[in-house]
């Protein structure tokens, strides 16, 4: 039987529809937006807010804050590729068991080595007692900043070495303990210390902040559940794409695809070459044509960072201008499911855009309309991109 073939145009139409680039797919339900993208990259807090706002019918920056800190229907947690994400509850549980817990032993060994290098005679015992003290403090008095935890528990604030070579420094041990407890799912990041663009968070007891917590789950079943959610949003895609996005081994990736009954198909890489891809067995129907879409999406947006092999929606010649040397995608202009340029907020608040290809007058006008909407939404807020695209230096000049 000939495998189902998905050309680049159909993959882009799927992207535009499923990632809510088109007007009719937008919603003001921020949890639905987050779940509909599996998760939101939170390394840069600005990304989370602007990724959601770009997909809302009525953009509202406060809506995400309500979900994160008022309703607590979303949460921040380290998971795939040791990256900080924003999740809905069910996906957070899957990601914790399928990705985060595998990182815990590595993080723990690193912390114990820091403690030993910092002069702690019995690192294992010290860490156990420190973790218990932090747990007790946060239940009684949290959420608290790391600085407040250190002030309340000064015996934990001893300096430990972090990094090496030119990057060697020291940090209070309590900060590293909080990070370790975060990976273990015992504490969570709560409201930031400043405004929504700030990446310094208070810490809360997971039991207090996230009733029921991450629970127990079979790692293999969790991986299958996470793979299924990813395929629904990003599929059809290659095994390499899933492995990269999830940070899994080849074996884990193959097993997860097998467990969800993924079907082998052919996917275009955008250059007329078709390679093996995978999709869910109930997701083989032709994709309807998507209406015009034109959006300004922030750096690290899921549409940009959901695949490793992006040639179907990104001209490889544009990569050096839009991605840094570590593969972080900066703010991008999107038209009809493909990346066509970059944008930046200038110091005066204006949005400057740089198109890298001709998109036609209608799409250009829609990009300019969205830029104006974004300027109004941001108002007096000024932000810098944590991982700027190389082309942005010219846009800021």
Chain segment 331-361, per-residue pLDDT in tens = 999 999 999 999 999 999 999 999 999 999 9
Q: State the alpha helices, DSSP H only, in 19-165.
A: 30-36, 45-53, 61-65, 89-95, 101-117, 123-141, 146-152
313 pLDDT above the threshold of 90: yes
Average pLDDT, the chain: 96
Interatomic CA distance for residues 168 and 33, integer angstroms: 40
167 pLDDT above the threshold of 90: no
Interatomic CA distance for residues 44 and 31, integer angstroms: 19
Q: Which of 301, 226, 247, 230 is nearest to 81 (CA)?
A: 247
In sequence order, what DSSP letters do the residues of 334-384 get, joined into one string? EETTEEEEEEEE-TTS-EEEEESS---HHHHHHHHHHHHHHHHHHTT----
Average pLDDT over residues 112-128: 95
Do 107 and 179 form a contact (C-beta atoms < 8 A)? yes
CA–CA distance from 140 to each of 72, 126, 178, 248, 249 (Å)?
Answer: 19, 21, 16, 37, 40
Buried b (16+ CB within 10 A) or exposed e, 365-386: ebbeebbeebeebbeeeebebe
Interatomic CA distance for residues 230 and 94, integer angstroms: 12
- Residue 173: predicted pLDDT: 95
Interatomic CA distance for residues 111 and 179, integer angstroms: 10
295 pLDDT above the threshold of 90: yes
List pLDDT tens digits, range 174-219.
Answer: 999 999 999 999 999 999 999 999 999 999 999 999 988 999 999 9
Interatomic CA distance for residues 49 and 47, integer angstroms: 6
Q: Which of 142, 137, 169 is nearest to 154 (CA)?
A: 137
Q: Helices 101-117 and 123-141 meet at what angle, rounded to 10?
A: 110
List pLDDT tens digits, range 253-290.
Answer: 999 999 999 999 999 988 788 999 999 999 999 999 99
What's the maximum distance between 2 C-alpha atoms anywhere in the chain? 68
Q: How far is CA 241 from the centre of its chain?
A: 15
Question: Within 13 A of 86's CA, how many CA atoms are on the CB side?
Answer: 35
Range of weakest confidence among 101-110, 163-172, 184-193, 340-349: 163-172
Q: Which of 337, 329, 374 is nearest to 359 (CA)?
A: 337
Range of weakest confidence among 80-89, 158-167, 307-316, 372-381: 158-167
Torsion from C-alpha of 11, 12, 13, 18, nearest 10 degrees: 90
As a residue count, the chain comes to 397
Q: What angle do CA 370, 374, 379 make, to 5 degrees?
A: 150
Average pLDDT over residues 310-338: 96
The percentage of the chain sitting over the pLDDT mark of 90, rounded to a whole number, equals 94
166 pLDDT above the threshold of 80: no
Confidence of residue 100 (pLDDT cuts 50, 70, 90): very high
1 pLDDT above the threshold of 80: no
* Prediction pTM value: 0.95
Interatomic CA distance for residues 225 and 91, integer angstroms: 8
């Amino acid at each position: 039987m000939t495998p189902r073939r998905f050309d680049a145009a159909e993959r882009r139409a799927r992207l535009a529809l499923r990632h809510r680039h088109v007007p009719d797919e937008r919603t003001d339900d921020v949890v639905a937006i987050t779940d509909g993208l599996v998760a939101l990259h939170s390394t840069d807090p600005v990304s989370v807010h602007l990724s959601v706002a770009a997909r809302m019918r009525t953009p509202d920056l406060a809506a995400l804050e309500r979900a994160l800190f008022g309703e607590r229907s979303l949460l921040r947690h380290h998971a795939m590729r040791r990256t900080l994400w924003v999740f809905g509850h069910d996906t957070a549980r899957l990601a914790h068991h399928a990705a985060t817990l595998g990182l815990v032993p590595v993080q723990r060994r690193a912390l114990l080595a820091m403690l030993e290098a910092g002069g702690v005679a019995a690192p294992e015992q010290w860490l156990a007692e420190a973790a218990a003290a932090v747990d007790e403090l946060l239940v009684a008095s949290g959420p608290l900043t790391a600085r407040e935890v250190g002030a309340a528990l000064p015996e934990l604030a001893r300096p430990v070495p972090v990094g090496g070579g030119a990057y060697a420094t020291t940090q209070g041990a309590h900060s590293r303990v909080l990070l370790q407890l975060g990976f273990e799912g015992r504490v969570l990041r709560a409201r930031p210390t400043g405004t929504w663009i700030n990446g310094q968070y208070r810490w809360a007891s997971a039991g207090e902040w996230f009733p029921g917590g991450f629970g127990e789950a079979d790692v293999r079943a969790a991986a299958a559940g996470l793979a299924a959610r990813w395929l629904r949003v990003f599929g059809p895609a290659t095994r390499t794409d899933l492995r990269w996005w999830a940070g899994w081994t080849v074996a884990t990736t193959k097993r997860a695809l097998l467990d969800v009954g993924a079907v082998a198909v052919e996917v275009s890489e955008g250059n007329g070459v078709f390679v093996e891809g995978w999709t869910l067995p109930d997701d083989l129907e032709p994709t309807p044509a998507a209406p015009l879409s034109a959006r300004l999406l922030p750096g690290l947006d899921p549409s940009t960072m959901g695949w490793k092999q992006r040639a179907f929606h990104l001209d490889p010649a544009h990569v050096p201008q839009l991605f840094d040397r570590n593969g972080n995608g900066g703010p991008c202009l999107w038209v009809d499911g493909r990346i066509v340029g970059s944008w930046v907020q200038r110091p005066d608040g204006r949005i400057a855009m740089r198109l890298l290809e001709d998109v036609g007058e209608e799409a250009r006008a829609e990009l300019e309309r969205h830029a104006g909407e974004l300027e109004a939404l941001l108002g007096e807020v000024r932000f810098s991109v944590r991982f700027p695209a190389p082309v942005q230096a010219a846009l800021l000049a």
